[in-house]
A and B are shown apart, each in its own frame.
Chain A
Amino acid sequence: MRFLPHTDADRTAMLAAMDVPGIRALFADIPAHFHMDAGSLNITPALSEAAIVRKFTAAAEKNRHAGNTRCFLGGGTYHHFIPAVVDYIISRGEFLTAYTPYQPEISQGTLQALFEFQSMIARLTGMDVSNASMYDAATSVAEAALMARRISRRTRVLIADTVNPRYRAVAHHYLRYLPGDHDDVAATVNFATDPAMLIAAIDDQTACVIVQFPDFYGSLYDLAALRAACDSHGCLLVLVFSDITAFGLLESPGALGADIAVGSGQALGIPMGFGGPHLGVLTCKKKYVRQMPGRVCGMTTDKQGKRGFVLTLSTREQHIRREKATSNICSNQGLMCTAAATYMASLGDVGLANVATRCAAALNMLVIALPDAVLAAPAPHFHETVLSFADVHRRDVFLRAAQQEHIFAGIPLERLDVSIEARHLLVSTTEMLEEQDIFDFIRILEASLCMQ
């Protein structure tokens, strides 16, 4: 077997050295009736390397993908340009096949990359500090809620219903067996967030208010009054984002007054990958750093006074604090931090601003060209918005016509939130769409409306 270095002669010699009659003798402590015969499992027979490539290629070819379609799908996962160097760097075995850097003397590569990642994420989000990643945006929201409960010593968590329904669901599921309330607050007006409705829901038991900016529908709104209301009630403002590249252009969570800012870093050089691995980002104000979940990398010096990096503040973590830890997280998304760091350094301020501007410009171009029969949500939007059709039939005729021309034109909104009437489409644009793609979208849309 090609991954096993031993020959049968090796095995025999090793067993002889130990004076053991056979390999299965080493398993004598497992009761005999639990032993299985070799080859008795009902799984696929062994495949050669070539057969594995053939099998996975055949499966891949059954799928349509962003490389041979035009992708207007968003909702938390976005098709952005990824410079080739990003995948090259994270394919290097020294990064790819290393463990968590518990032995810092031989892990400075991972650690410095993490420190650079944390520094750049803090700068991009305008927050003081970042940890070294969570699983994804949804679990980051859950962890932010838990963190706000610890900081405020209160248990009521309010989540705007304009936060991505998947993030809300995961947060509620995380909190379900802990004491205290956690409620969705109705704050949706015309597929945008009305902060006044959130402000009205805050009371003196509220640990935090969780809002998304730009919200789930891609809409922008003024956060100043909500920030002031959080201050007067002594609760935390948690800001969620689904595409961190927005802050190449838009005001950062820190400048908007967030106490904790969490969301997805998938846009930073990580492929959509049918749901993962992605990158959960968690940032906060410096004063809350000891309540952060997850790993964090810090700067220090070695015995000779040379600069170096270590995992630090580990007394928050499960391997030290066990049931009193700030989180149960152990494995995180380390490699994705290296990918994000490589991506950010490749783009810089100007590149990130260009990405965000092109995302917004593409959507703006699309919205301006919409036929009268299809309405876009009225609020200012970044790179995502809701298109409303007269009925589900007209929408689905369009979706099918678009798919015929290899365009994934949007996500039916009820697929993400079953409480929403089935005639809306969540549409997102990135820099991967060219003008011609927008023209095609509009042409097919107009044609599909005429057909009906």
Chain B
Amino acid sequence: MHAITTAIKHEEPLLFEHQHADEKSISLPGVVADTPQHLQAFLRNEVAMIPSLSEPEVVRHFVRLSQWNYGIESGFYPLGSCTMKYNPRVNETVVRLPGLAQLHPDQPEDSVQGVLGLLFELQQSLGEIVGLPHVTLQPAAGAHGELVGMMLIRAALNARGEQQRTKVLIPDSAHGTNPASAALCGMQCVELKSRPDGRLDLIALDAALGNDVAALMLTNPNTAGVFEEDIAEICARVHAAGAFVYGDGANLNALVGVARPGDMGIDCLHINVHKTFSTPHGGGGPGGGPVAVCDELARFLPTPRIERDGNTFCLRHTDEESIGAMLGSIGQTGVLLRALAYINAFGRDYLHHIAEDAVLNANYILHRLQHAYHVPFAGFCKHECLLTDEKQAAHGVKTLDIAKRLIDCGFHPMTVYFPLIVHGAMLIEPTETESRATLDAFCDAMLDIASQCEADNTDALHDAPVLAFRQRLDETVAARKPVLTWPKKAAT
């Protein structure tokens, strides 16, 4: 049963509901011969039932699906802590050059000098930008970088003979990946409660520090969008207690070109290139999470390492003290090259404009919305601003309603219910690539929503979205009775 299409807003059935096309619909190159005799004992018995569509049908199917989606190219995407900035098209062009896209990772090194040179430049540039000179490009995402970073810290502590340091201090405002990564590294997580102003509590830090602590994991600016002003003192105390400071670089966009985490005392930092350096999120990935470290941690970095020897570049596959490979390759090269292209576009001349405009835009939004919405932490924000639904809740409207209403207004919602340290959080991150007109339009929509609440004219908020491709979906049923695949024998 297919739903009815109206105008040019197409309903699109599942691939499995399409009529199967002619089985000879694709032409393939290669050696044509019968299946070799030695494979007869290993052949598949049951056909997989992968649908086969003709090329025009495939294109139309996925183009229609794409039209049900919203990307940064469609409009404003102010997801806090996600840094949804414009993804330059030239980056897409250059990574598709055959000399970059069609390289096998095990080609002889003399046949891949060009790509190694680009990756080496990225490695050096990232180290310079964050103030930590030694970089691995291997981690495939931010959380993967966290895991690599925690392993580096553990390796360094073991080398010092301090195997007993297995606790990791993590503020309650941290991303969920922080404790999950630490646990995967066999560490025990100790949660630090934030101060009433959203920042790290030095007294709580002192109380938790001891000779069993391996590291503090810190996001700065933190997930409330505020800078930890005591950063130098925090790092000094952690170092004095014999532990390392791990920096979650998810919010690096607030600092890039303006100040460097390494200068502040961070020992190890992952860099989400799919945030700060504009590589597209792809509907969930791929990402990239290079890790930059201080001198003490450098000898433990993963292999293979990209090194320079005069005018040639090489891969070092073994190193006695290295934590070894954490991915099956040197990294997500296609993602990494896009990041280099973004850094090159700004270069040393303009890189600071990234943080400056990102912080300007977030503060502009905060300024325009600060009276209509509750602002839990006073003062300037950095690259993102945090609001809550406290004022609207009095009128029966929650953060979720506001978020869904924004969809009807033509915007992607902000990050909702995160960080966990405030009730009904709305975390708004505009990035540097939005115009003043877009920011104003978004603020106007938010102010409109606030006045509808004030007037108790809230039906449209509870019903929203009504103009999107689907209305609110039943997530409870989805989780309780999970349907994760289309059955082979479904009636179509």
CB pair A360 B39 closer than 8 Å:
yes
**A300 adjacent to B474 (CB under 8 Å):** yes
A157 to chain B, nearest CB (A): 15
B470 touches A109 (CB 8 A): no
Q: Tell whether, in the assembled complex, residue A276 and residue B331 are in contact, meaning their CB atoms are under 8 Å apart.
A: yes
Chain B CB within 8 A of A96 CB? yes
Q: A10-B436, A41-B129 are in contact. Are A94 and B67 (CB under 8 A)?
A: yes
Within 8 A of B (CB), among A370-428: 380-382, 403, 408, 411, 415-416, 418
Contact with A along B384-419 (1 / 0, CB 8 A): 000000000000000000011001000011000010
Interchain CB contact under 8 A, A302 and B474:
yes
B257 within 8 A of partner (CB): yes
Query: Is B483 among interface residues, defined by CB-CB distance under 8 A?
Result: yes
- A229 → chain B closest CB, angstroms: 20
Taken together as a complex, chains A and B put the C-alpha atoms of A166 and B326 apart, in Å, by: 9
B58 & A55 in contact (Cβ 8 Å cutoff): no
Q: Are A52 and B344 in contact (CB under 8 A)?
A: yes
Q: Across the interface, which residues of B come within 8 angstroms of A93, CB to CB? A: 71-74
- The 8 Å CB contact of B332, one of A26, A107, A115, A277, is A277
Known: A18-B367, A39-B348, A66-B102. A3 touches B86 (CB 8 A): yes
Mark each residue of chain A from 60 to 95: 1 if its CB lies under 8 Å from any CB of chain B, else 0: 111111111001010111010101010111111111
Say whether B107 contacts A64, CB under 8 Å: yes
B side interface size, CB within 8 A: 201
The CA of A27 and the CA of B129, in the complex, are separated in Å by: 17
Query: Once the chains bind, are B31 and A435 in contact (CB under 8 Å)?
Result: yes
Contact of A43 among B125, B181, B232, B360 (CB under 8 A): B125
User: A67 and B478: CB pair below 8 A?
Assistant: no
- The reply to whether A299 and B73 form a contact with Cβ atoms under 8 Å apart is no
Determine which of A40, A331, A358 lies in contact with B287 in the assembled complex, contact meaning CB atoms within 8 Å: A331
Known A-B contacts: A26-B359, A63-B103, A432-B30. Give 16 more (CB < 8 A).
A3-B433, A10-B436, A29-B380, A60-B97, A96-B87, A97-B71, A118-B484, A177-B185, A248-B44, A255-B46, A274-B333, A289-B484, A302-B471, A330-B176, A346-B52, A348-B51
A-B contacts, CB under 8 A, total: 716
A300 touches B477 (CB 8 A): yes
Q: Which of A11, A34, A118, A381: most chain B CB closer than 10 A?
A: A34
**Cβ of A361 under 8 Å from chain B:** yes
**A351–B58 CA distance with the chains assembled, in angstroms:** 14
Are A43 and B129 closer than 8 Å at their CB atoms? yes
Segment 3-61 of B: residues with Cβ below 8 Å from A: 3, 12, 14-16, 20-21, 23-26, 28-36, 38-39, 41-53, 55, 58-59, 61
With contact pairs A43-B125, A273-B334, A328-B147 given, residues A304 and B471 touching in the complex (Cβ less than 8 Å): yes
Within the complex, the shortest CB–CB distance from B232 to chain A, in Å, comes to 6
> A15 contacts B483, CB within 8 Å?
no
- The residues of B that contact A85 with a CB separation of less than 8 Å are 55, 58-59
Task: Evaluate whether A329 and B333 lie within 8 angstroms (CB atoms) in the complex, with A119-B485, A346-B26 already known.
Answer: no
Does B479 sit within 8 A of A, measured CB to CB? yes
Chain B proximity mask over A327-358: 1 for CB below 8 Å, otherwise 0 = 11111111110100110111111111011011
Given A97-B72, A335-B280, do A276 and B43 touch, yes or no (CB 8 Å)? no
Interface members, chain A 234-286 (any B CB < 8 Å): 247-252, 255, 271-278
- Assuming A26-B363, A323-B183, is B71 touching A98 (CB within 8 A)? yes
**A438, B48: Cβ atoms closer than 8 Å:** no
Expressed in whole angstroms, the minimum distance between the Cβ of B361 and any Cβ of chain A is 8
CB < 8 Å neighbour of B412 from A89, A103, A119, A303: A103
* A119 near B16: Cβ-Cβ < 8 Å: yes
Query: Are A348 and B53 neighbours in the complex by a CB distance under 8 Å?
Result: yes
Known: A34-B264, A273-B334, A365-B33. A104 touches B51 (CB 8 A): no
Question: Chain A contacts of B112 at CB under 8 A?
Answer: 63-64, 274
B260–A113 CB distance below 8 A? no
Q: Which residues of B contact A307 (CB under 8 A)?
A: 3
B245 to chain A, nearest CB (A): 15
Q: For B229, what are the chain A residues with a Cβ–Cβ distance below 8 Å?
A: 29-31
Q: Are B407 and A106 in contact (CB under 8 A)?
A: yes
Q: A450 contacts the other chain (Cβ, under 8 Å)?
A: no
For the complex, is A452 an interface residue (Cβ under 8 Å from B)?
Answer: no
Q: How far is the CA of A345 from the CA of B20 in the complex (A)?
A: 10
CA distance A164 to B484 in the complex (A): 30
Contact sample, A vs B, 13 pairs, CB 8 Å cutoff: A6-B360, A14-B436, A18-B367, A41-B257, A43-B128, A98-B71, A106-B468, A139-B144, A312-B479, A323-B182, A348-B23, A348-B53, A364-B38
Is B106 a contact partner of A41 (Cβ separation < 8 A)? no
Assess whether B348 is in contact with A41, with CB atoms less than 8 Å apart.
yes
User: What is the predominant secondary structure among interface residues of chain B facing chain A?
Assistant: loop
Most buried by A among B99, B115, B186, B355: B99
B34: min CB distance to chain A, Å: 8
Identify A94's interface contact among B73, B226, B353, CB under 8 A: B73
Q: What separation, in Å, do the CA atoms of A98 and B412 have in the docked complex?
A: 10
8 Å CB interface, B334-379 against A: 334-335, 337, 341, 343-353, 355-357, 359-360, 363-364, 367, 379
Interface 1/0 per residue, B452-489 and A, CB below 8 Å: 00000000000001001111111101110011111010
Judge if A21 is at the interface, Cβ distance under 8 Å. no
Within A154-172, which residues are at the interface with B (CB < 8 Å)?
164, 166-167, 169-170, 172
In the assembled complex, the CB of A377 is this many whole angstroms from the nearest CB of chain B, namely 12
Q: In the complex, what's the smallest C-beta–C-beta distance from A92 to chain B, in angstroms?
A: 5
Q: A297 at interface (Cβ–Cβ under 8 A)?
A: yes
Cα of A354 to Cα of B98 in the assembled complex, Å: 25
Min Cβ gap B164→A in Å is 13
User: Complex formed: what's the CA distance from A129 to B88 in Å?
Assistant: 36
Q: Is the CB of A250 within 8 A of B43?
A: yes
Known contacts A43-B129, A105-B404, A271-B101; decide if A99 and B186 are in contact (CB<8 Å).
no
A356: min CB distance to chain B, Å: 9
Tell me which residues from 94 to 136 in chain B have a Cβ below 8 Å from any Cβ of chain A: 94-108, 111-115, 117-118, 121, 124-125, 128-129
Residues of B contacting A302 with CB < 8 Å?
Answer: 470-474
Measured between C-beta atoms, what is the minimum distance from B57 to chain A in Å?
8
CB-CB nearest 4 A-B residue pairs:
A348-B52, A334-B284, A60-B99, A275-B329
Residue contact A361 to B14, C-beta cutoff 8 Å:
no
**Pick the contact of B88 from A3, A62, A306, A380 — CB < 8 Å?**
A3
A100 at the interface (CB under 8 A from B): yes
**Does B204 count as interface, using CB distance less than 8 angstroms?**
no
Q: Are A430 and B30 in touch, CB under 8 angstroms?
A: yes
Contact with A along B126-169 (1 / 0, CB 8 A): 00110000000000111110110001001000000000000000
Pairwise interchain contact B39-A250, C-beta atoms closer than 8 A:
yes
CB-defined contacts of A358 to chain B, threshold 8 Å: 28-32
Asked whether any CB of chain A lies closer than 8 Å to the CB of B240, the reply is: no
A79 to chain B, nearest CB (A): 7
Q: Report A94 CB to chain B, min CB distance, Å.
A: 4
For B264, list chain A residues within 8 Å (CB): 34
Within 8 Å CB of B103, what residues of A?
A: 63, 65-66, 272-274
Query: Which B residues touch A45, using CB under 8 A?
Result: 347-349
- B297 adjacent to chain A (CB < 8 Å): no
Contact with B66, one of A83, A109, A320, A327 (Cβ below 8 angstroms): A109
By the criterion CB–CB under 8 Å, are A110 and B318 in contact?
A: no
Q: Which B residues touch A232, using CB under 8 A? A: none
Q: Is B177 interfacial (CB 8 A cutoff)?
A: yes
Would A89 and B66 count as touching, CB distance under 8 A? yes
User: Is the Cβ of B485 less than 8 Å from the Cβ of A63?
Assistant: no
A53 touches B90 (CB 8 A): yes
Cβ contact within 8 Å between A315 and B479: yes
- Within 8 Å CB of A67, what residues of B? 98, 102
Q: Report how far A405 CA is from B67 CA in the complex, Å.
A: 46
Task: Compute how far the CA of A14 lies from the CA of B365 in the bound complex, rounded to whole angstroms.
Answer: 10
**Docked CA distance A56–B258 (Å):** 27
A119 and B51 CA atoms in complex are apart in Å by 11
Q: Are A94 and B281 neighbours in the complex by a CB distance under 8 Å? A: no
A360 touching B35 in the complex, CB below 8 Å, given contacts A170-B326, A276-B334: yes
A233: Cβ under 8 A from any B Cβ: no
- Given A101-B283, A106-B407, residue A330 in contact with residue B141 (CB < 8 A): yes
